[in-house]
Amino acid sequence: MTTITNLPAVLRAGLLNAAARDALDWVPFRPGVEAHWLHRAPDGGAAAALLRYAPGSDVPRHAHTGRETILILAGRQSDDTGTYDAGTLVVNEPGTEHKVRSDIGCTALLIWEQAPRLFEGT
């Protein structure tokens, strides 16, 4: 069980607090995309992360073997089915696939039931 005393600082400060997000330790995720991991199962299972996209960056086409829930915190993100501004909640069901991009940059909270499977050569 997670309690308020062991929540990451960004969650205690509030996900919408840009200064708290900027102060986090960010690591490379994909070219132009950085991650701050909130939770990551060692077996490729459940995970939660903040992803920060530079303007013009993308994540290659991938398939979801478990549900993916995305909350756009700042900026704008697009995929094969639409464009999502800050405040939008997107749920990608198991069996779906898409390529994600951000023309102006964005920060999003992502929660995966299972790690997505990237397609080769993307």
The 10s digit of each residue's pLDDT in 41-66 is 888 789 999 999 999 999 999 999 99
| Nearest Cα to Cα of residue 51 among 79, 65, 23, 72 | 72
The dihedrals phi and psi of 109, each to the nearest 5 degrees, come to -95, 125
Cβ proximity of 26 and 52 under 8 Å: yes
Percent of the chain past pLDDT 70, that is, above it, reads 86
Please report the pLDDT score of residue 1 as a whole number.
33
pTM, two decimals, is: 0.84
C-alpha of 85 from chain center: 14
Whether 121 has a pLDDT exceeding 70, the answer reads no
Mean pLDDT of 5-27: 72
